Amino acid sequence: MRKKSSQNFPATASQIWGKLQERVYRSLIHDVDQLKSRLIEEWEHFHHVFIDEAIRQWRPRLQVCIRAHRGHFEHRL
């Protein structure tokens, strides 16, 4: 049985994006320039522990993928 991810940290890029998206869209965005500005602003204040944890969690998965030589590997996790 696989170990569950910590509730405190996202484990995937989509979860990281979800966290960032929540922050960006707290207020109404009127145009692309405002969206760009909000993304930059929120990224600067984003707690990068989330990204570090996602990398830490994906590293073993990537190592198994490499050992499988591009074959199926999910059953080895």
Q: What is the pLDDT of residues 25-73, one digit of tens each?
A: 999 999 999 999 999 999 998 888 878 887 887 888 788 888 887 677 7
Please state, as a whole number, how many other Cβ atoms lie within 10 Å of the Cβ of residue 23: 14
What pTM was estimated for this model as a whole?
A: 0.55
Higher pLDDT, 34 or 8: 34
Residue 15: C-alpha distances to residues 1, 31, 43 (Å): 22, 24, 14
Average pLDDT over residues 8-28: 79
